[in-house]
Amino acid sequence: MCSEPQHRAGVCPECKGVVLVTIRECTPARDAAVHGLLLLLILSTVAMAARFAGVSEDRINLVAQLIIPAGLAWLLLTGYYRAAEEGFFCRACGYSE
């Protein structure tokens, strides 16, 4: 998913002419999916370690109820960011980026 392109003035590095830079912000869905899978991996690892340590299933469920909201907050705050793509084409010399 990308936002509508925005424009700003820029300078061509080749001929120093004025160019119109196009900026699009994209949300990388793959990164959000990877962070979600890491959250599930952490939750599964904690549950397995607790089970091997002899912790009761009720306590494991309680810990899961605490980890899931914290993990979702972590996912929303740090995992789901927006990356900006910039590009331009210089009409004077034909340089593009």
Long-range CB contact pairs, 16-23, < 8 A, 24+? 17/90, 17/91, 17/92, 17/93, 19/88, 19/89, 19/90, 19/91, 20/88, 21/86, 21/87, 21/88, 22/86, 22/87, 22/88, 23/84, 23/85, 23/86
Q: What is the pLDDT of residue 27?
A: 64
- Tell me the domain boundaries of the chain: 1-27+82-97, 39-79
- State the pTM of this model: 0.46
**Residue 9 pLDDT exceeds 80:** yes
Q: What is the pLDDT of residue 13?
A: 86
pLDDT tens-place string over residues 33-55: 777 788 888 888 888 888 899 88
Q: What is the mean pLDDT of residues 7-17?
A: 85
Q: Name the band, by pLDDT with cuts 50, 70 and 90, for residue 22.
A: confident
